[in-house]
Structure 1
C-alpha cells in the first residue's frame, strides 16, 4: 500500500484537498482528528496532560480546554516539548491503527507539521498544498476572527513553504478555484493508483 503524506501551512487549503480525495474513495487519516481523539475524556492522553499541567486545563465538564493549554505552551518551550512528548506517540499510534482498518491501494495521511516533526521518511510520497501568503492571511482572519498581525505571527511560527518544498514530491496550488483543485486531485489520484500498482508488482 502506498502511503501519501499531505501537508501544507495553516490555511493553505489542506481540508479541501483531503475532502476531494475522500470523494474518490481514498481513506483519509488525519493528524488533527487523531489529536482530538487522544485527549477525549477518560483517555490516556488527557490523563497525562492533567498530571503534567493540573486541572486548570480542563473545562467544567472535564474536557480539554484547548485555549488554556495553548496559553501555557505558547511561550514556554519546555511545556511545549512535554506536551509533544505526551501526545505525538499517541497520535502516531491512533493513525497506525486507523490505517490498518482501511486497506486500499493508497492512503492519504494529513500531517500539517510534517516538516517540523521530521516524519517525511515514513511516507512514500509527500503532497504539498500551497497558496499565496495573502490568501492564507485572509483565510485565517475570516476563519478565526483574528487580526492581520495575529495571522502573520501564526504563519511566522511555522516552517516556510520553501522548507516544505524540499521534502515534497507533488504539489497542489489552492487559491480557491474548486474546479481546478478537483482536476489536480484527480490527476494525482491516477498517479498514486499507478504507483501503488507498480509497487505491488501487479
Structure 2
C-alpha cells in the first residue's frame, strides 16, 4: 500500500485490538529513535482549550462539556453521546477530520528513518491507505479481556462491547504485513521489535534509493 502525499516517507501502520499492548511496542520503537504518531494522543491534542474542534464541540453540545478552565470534560461528553447515534455522528464529524489533519501534519514533519502511525482503528478508518506496511500486535481475545479489565478497572461486558466494535482478530491478521505476538511476557517484545526495526530500515532505504 502506498501513502497519500507524504513526501516519499516510509510509514508503518501499527494497530491491534484493545489490550493488545500497542503502547508497549511503540515505546520500544521510540527507544530505537523512531518517531511515533499516535491517534490516541492526536485525539487529545485536537481538543485542547482554544482549539477549533473544542469550539465546535461546545457549539454542538453546550457549555456543560467544558470545565471552568476551558478543558473538555470527557466523561460529560461520553454521557451525552453514549446511547445517541445522532449525537455520536455529530461528534465523529467534528473529531475525525481534526484528528486526521493533526496526524498528517505530524507525519509530514517526522524525520526519523521511518515513522510509526499507531491507531487502534487504523484498518476500520482506512488509515492503512497512508502506510507502506501494516503491523498488527496480536494477542488471544481472552488475553485482551483480562489485560483491559486489570488496566482500566472495567467489567468484562464493557471490554467485550469495545471488542465487538473493532475488527475481529482473524480479519485484522489477514490484513497484516507483519505481526508481533504479545501473548507472552513484555520482555519478549524486545527481540521482535528489533528484528522488525532492522527490516523497516532496509525497506525505507530501498524506497529512498528507488525514489
Q: Is TM-score (shorter-chain normalized) higher than 0.5?
A: yes
Aligned with 2:121: secondary structure? coil
1:167 and 1:70 map into 2 onto residues whose CA distance is: 31
Ranges in structure 2 where 5+ consecutive residues have no aligned partner: 1-8
Query: Is the Cα–Cα contact under 8 Å of residues 125 and 170 in structure 1 kept in the other structure?
Result: yes
The question of 1:29 aligning with 2:48 is answered: no
Aligned equivalent of 1:110: 118
Equivalent positions of 1:116-155 (< 5 A) are 116-155=124-163
The CA deviation string for residues 53-92 of structure 1, in whole angstroms up to 9 with x for no partner, is 1112123432111112222222222222221211111112
Query: Is the Cα–Cα contact under 8 Å of residues 105 and 193 in structure 1 kept in the other structure?
Result: yes
Aligned equivalent of 1:85: 93
Shift of 1:163: 2.3
Shift of 1:175: 2.0
Aligned with 2:20: secondary structure? coil
Aligned with 1:92: secondary structure? helix
Q: 1:171 aligns with which of 163, 173, 179?
A: 179
Aligned equivalent of 2:75: 67
The CA deviation string for residues 12-43 of structure 1, in whole angstroms up to 9 with x for no partner, is 10000000100000001101111000001111
Aligned with 2:157: secondary structure? helix
Shift of 1:176: 4.2
The question of 1:16 aligning with 2:24 is answered: yes
> Which stretch of the first structure deviates more once superposed, 180-189 or 139-148?
139-148
Query: Is the Cα–Cα contact under 8 Å of residues 174 and 181 in structure 1 kept in the other structure?
Result: yes
Q: TM-score, normalised by structure 2?
A: 0.90
1:8 and 1:200 map into 2 onto residues whose CA distance is: 28
Aligned with 2:115: secondary structure? strand
Aligned Cα RMSD in Å? Answer: 1.5
Aligned with 1:114: secondary structure? coil
The question of 1:94 aligning with 2:88 is answered: no
Query: Is the Cα–Cα contact under 8 Å of residues 120 and 126 in structure 1 kept in the other structure?
Result: yes
2:44 and 2:106 map into 1 onto residues whose CA distance is: 14
